[in-house]
Amino acid sequence: MCGRTACNLKCETYCKATSYKDLKDTLYRQPEWHNEMNDNFEFKQSNNIAPTDVTPILVSGEEFVGYPSRILTPMVWGMIPPGIRIENVTTSKLYSEPLTKGRRCIIVCEGFYEWKTTEGPGKKKPYFIYMPQKNGVSIYDTNAWESAQWSEQYGWCGPSLLQLAGIYNKWKSSNGEDVYSYSVITMESSKTFSQLHHRIPAVLENEQLIEDWLDTRRVSASQAISMLRPTDNLTWYEVSSTVNNSRNKSVDCNKPISKIVNKSSTFMTSWLSGKNKKSDNNDNDQMRKKAKN
């Protein structure tokens, strides 16, 4: 259902990774990063993003701030509830108004988490879900993202972000400041993904879907909703239960269990190694004393 995501990159990296070619352009361009006031809500990098946190959101600049290009801007996750069922999006009082006003957005992230029920009720294992990557690319390796190349000619040459369809709205905080928040659209899972969960976020798998979702002047709300389909183009692996608590912001949250170093085991191994070394030294000392005698 997508109740937790990973957004642990720098703002400029998200700009590069969401670069695109305009229909009139021959070169790639990056969305500009716009820091809205948002009543002091700021994006903070984390591999364990939860509702009420702030994340990078891709929107049409033309619709958002009158800017003639796509922009990335931080928004609060959650229009209560933080996920929208596609079955209700056109009839819900909460979501139908921003939808008809053209407030469509794209949630960008490295991936999201889902919990699979195993061995009966109450026992769940967390998994990290993401877009398929090129051979040898580790989705959890921040350096693979930050060191990736970008150029106007070839665009982004790094790992692939996950881009999810969403809706945003604007409301007033208790301080009278404008606050922008969003929700993720979800739907019934594909046959492949249903082994993890019966709901899945609406994934925008290619540039055409991204362009159509953002272009609210050319593509109507009903047309945009009708083009969303559950995807089979996802991959996943099991992660540590550390992610279960949203307050845990460890860099290990989205790593495969096999890649997480067990600190207690490492400490014990180091302690035993030191103890054995000390024992060996004592044995050698005893042998030298006997030799002298």
pLDDT in tens, 43-101: 999 999 999 999 999 999 888 877 878 999 999 998 654 566 777 677 677 788 899 99
Q: Is 2 a catalytic residue?
A: yes
Q: String of b and e for 12-28 (b: at least 16 CB within 10 Å)?
A: ebbbbbbbbeeeeeeeb
Cis peptide before 81 (omega within 30 of 0): yes
Average pLDDT of the segment spanning 162-191: 90
- The model's pTM is 0.85
Among residues 2, 7, 109, 253, which one is catalytic? 2
Superfamily of domain 4-264: SOS response associated peptidase-like (3.90.1680.10)
Average pLDDT of the segment spanning 155-184: 91
Q: How far apart are CA 70 and CA 210, in angstroms?
A: 11
* Res 230: pLDDT: 95
* Res 122: pLDDT: 65
Q: Does position 284 have pLDDT exceeding 60, yes or no?
A: no
- Per DSSP bridges, beta strands 70-77 and 178-188 are parallel
Q: Does position 105 have pLDDT exceeding 80, yes or no?
A: yes
Q: Does position 136 have pLDDT exceeding 70, yes or no?
A: yes
With bands split at pLDDT 50, 70 and 90, how would you rate the model's confidence at 247?
Answer: very high
- Per DSSP bridges, beta strands 32-33 and 70-77 are parallel
With bands split at pLDDT 50, 70 and 90, how would you rate the model's confidence at 120?
Answer: low
How many residues belong to the chain?
293
Average pLDDT of the segment spanning 236-248: 94
Average pLDDT of the segment spanning 161-189: 91
Q: How far apart are CA 15 and CA 197, in angstroms?
A: 31
Closest to 39 in 3D by CA, of 174, 132, 231: 174
* Res 121: pLDDT: 66
With bands split at pLDDT 50, 70 and 90, how would you rate the model's confidence at 292?
Answer: low
Among residues 109, 114, 211, 253, which one is catalytic? 114
Q: Is 36 a catalytic residue?
A: no
